[in-house]
Structure 1
């Protein structure tokens, strides 16, 4: 059964070995990674955390609970959410979805929040 998986953009050699539909989920392109190095099918920056929320969070663990709540609220109120979800539901019927993110913190980041939202809607 296909799944939603997470991979860091900085592990781009590993990303290229993963099979599945690869989506970059950051609003900004990951620093130091060239576009030719990172294999991806879609850059979903429209559903990434807003600049304000991203700046406030600043990848500080203590801010994560509120960040998660606020980001889920942004996702739910984003007019693109329904169409993105519908599209990804079609993709996941046949292959894994690989969410690619640039955050250093592998435990507290926007990709984990987005994955949990997708998992709860599939």
Structure 2
């Protein structure tokens, strides 16, 4: 995982923007993305309800995981992860712990390795 405002590095491997909105003030060249997966991000309704409020993080995680459970973009991201030795999830949120990319990373790890389905227990 890496913020869109951080310098891209060769070690990032395949860079995937996982936000529905383009990061403010970041050019396409600076972003150095390989892919932009808007569909993997939380729905606008869920994102607005959450508002990056740390106190809502646990409930947000459960709601976002429920969205991911029915989202075909999960299989698309699984394919990207399977084809590339290193994949960096790029996000724009300020807080490295209060953002949907953290939840997505954990969700994908569970999805890819067939562990018990569930959601990240955050905010505790």
Q: TM bucket by the smaller chain?
A: 0.7 to 0.9
Output the TM-score relative to the length of structure 1. 0.84
Aligned pair 1:43/2:33, yes or no? no
Q: Which residue of 2 aligns with 1:80?
A: 73
**Partners of 2:22 and 2:65 in 1: CA distance:** 21
Q: Which residue of 1 aligns with 2:2?
A: 7
What CA RMSD, in Å, does the superposition of the two structures yield over aligned residues? 1.4
User: 3-state SS of the aligned residue for 2:31?
Assistant: coil
**Partners of 1:34 and 1:80 in 2: CA distance:** 25
In structure 2, list runs of 5 or more residues that go unmatched.
Answer: 113-124
In structure 1, list runs of 5 or more residues that go unmatched.
Answer: 1-5
Shift of 1:35: 1.3
List structure 1 runs of 4+ shifted beyond 3 angstroms.
none
Q: Which residue of 2 aligns with 1:91?
A: 83
Distance 1:8 1:88, change over 3 A: same
Output the TM-score relative to the length of structure 2. 0.83
1:107 equivalent among 97, 105, 110: 97
| Number of residue pairs aligned between Structure 1 and Structure 2 | 112
